[in-house]
Amino acid sequence: MANAEERRFDVLRAIVADYVSNQEPVGSKAIVERHNLGVSSATVRNDMATLEEEGYITQPHTSAGRVPTDKGYRLFVDRLSEIKPLSAAERRAITTFLDSGTDLDDVLRRSVRLLAQLTRQVAVVQYPMLTNAKVRHLEVVPLTPARLMLVLIADNGRVDQRTVDLGDVVTEEDVARLRSVLNTAMSGRRLNEAAARVAELPDQAPGELRDALIRVTTVLVESLAEHPEERLVLGGTANLTRNVADFPGSLRQVLEALEEQVVVLKLLAAARNPGAITVRIGEENEDEQMRSTSVVSIGYGQDMVLGGMGVVGPTRMDYPGTIAAVRAVANYVGQILAGR
């Protein structure tokens, strides 16, 4: 029985490989010719009939060929014994490309571009989540005697710049006092705790600093808050339009769903452990608009998950290659951010 099951899985694997590669329904004759399974066409036909009965493959129309179902892809992905490794040249290219990123924004934009190119799918990267982040430092830079730039640096690499109009001229000495008061209240604290401490500062400030502190802390509290709408970088959307047939009647829905950041954030929400790949196939996606897609996602970061990244494409996807690319890029991004 075990041998028969293994043989049927080999047939399913052959159907997945050929269909992903050619986008044509796969027949028993093609399987025998292209894959060295060591059995006759009749045996393959019987195995295909069983696989179809069990819901792993289906016959799209009157042709003799079969295509994998979502259930078939799921079994294939669950039993991937080896992920296609990236070549040394690909790994070098990833390192070089990402290492030359100038700051967090640039690194994330580059990682999205790279993932989209490697997988030929839509790539998405979530900005480092602020929930666990702590304030590393706040720089206060005078732009004019009555205008300041605040540069908030978090320990997860995130940098937020804001300008504040003070409404009155302040001295260099006052700027130094502001910098000291603010950093004493914020440094080393989680962002929500830092926001609470900052909000209390104007009440405790000496009279000559109070007006300036009120304006500065109003801007800072806003800066420390979580902004879900700013948390995603998306790239390679045009890749979906290369094979419209993969999304019968639903490509427009998929593109609309990708524009809704909430939908994409939900897709990445499963990425909780660094290095753990999650694959959602077709009907497994909660959002109805995404039911014709597969999502391969992962959490990036070294000791803790900073955010999620992944790709969205049709269920007819090169799963081994896609998983390898997502894992490699996430690994390099985690290393780069940990070193900054």
- Predicted TM-score (pTM) of this structure: 0.76
As a whole number of angstroms, the distance between CA 127 and CA 156 comes to: 10
Give 233's strand partners: 125
| In contact, 146 and 168? CB cutoff 8 Å | yes
pLDDT tens profile 84-142: 777 788 888 888 888 877 778 888 999 999 999 999 999 999 888 766 678 888 999 99
Read off the pLDDT of residues 258-288 as tens digits, 9 standing for 90 and up.
887 777 877 776 566 667 899 999 999 888 8
Closest CA relative to residue 119, chosen from 335, 259, 328, 331: 328
- Say what the pLDDT of residue 226 is: 59
pLDDT at residue 1, rounded to an integer: 47
**Nearest alpha-carbon partner for 67 in 10, 9, 17:** 17
Rounded Cα–Cα distance for residues 282 and 291 (Å): 4
Q: What is the mean pLDDT of residues 55-82?
A: 88
Phi-psi region of 147 (alpha: psi -120 to 50; beta: other; left: phi over 0): beta
Residue-wise pLDDT tens digits, 303-333:
777 888 999 999 999 999 999 999 999 988 8
At 208 the pLDDT is 77
| Alpha helix positions (H), the chain | 2-22, 28-34, 41-53, 70-78, 88-99, 104-119, 172-186, 191-204, 207-224, 251-259, 261-268, 319-338
